Amino acid sequence: MSYRTLATDIADFITTHNLHGSHVMGHSLGGKTAMALALQHPQLLKHLAVLDIAPVAYSHTQIDYIQAMQALNLDTIKRRSDADAALQEGVPDTVLRQFLLQNLVPDGDGFEWRINLDALADQMDEMIGFPTFAEQQYNGPTLFIYGMDSDYVLAKYHSAVRTYFPTAQMLGIENAEHWLHVQKPNRVVDAINHFLNAD
């Protein structure tokens, strides 16, 4: 469970399906994966869009959310609303809880997690970090969109963005936090459409 490995998986998918010249976009962990892909395999991309994440190591972990999901007794869950109620204490933010519950899928008469919670918990330090790509850059069209009320793409991180992505455009979305695509979907979609159609 590393960004280099995730990026290699996507590169293999693009190559296998002859999707060279792809427009690649990712949010948060997906954004770090997209950045790693662009740095390792720049020839596969036409555009790169990164949502509310920077190529830096963060100190805040998501382990509490993973542990709350692991603690959910799936034997007692008969409806998705049961899971929502049971997860409320561990994940009080409604938007985040609903996002996490997208990973709870029907399994016969009950439910199961479709993501490997144990692997995520075990590799959390890797996930909140970012690998070093010595002297590697992606010079293709790049857009970083971030929530202006988020602490994931602070001004002090912009230099790290420019180190790896010299051509990057930086766009802040007002009144948006980390889940900017949920909070301001029209603004985010408009920005991405404009970016993709600019050349």
Task: Please list the active-site residues.
Answer: 28, 118, 178
Residue-by-residue DSSP string for the chain: --HHHHHHHHHHHHHHTT--SEEEEEETHHHHHHHHHHHH-GGGEEEEEEES--SS--S---HHHHHHHHHS-GGG--SHHHHHHHHTTT---HHHHHHHHTTEEEETTEEEESS-HHHHHHTHHHHHS----TT----S-EEEEEETT-SSS-GGGHHHHHHH-TT-EEEEETT--TTHHHHSHHHHHHHHHHHHT--
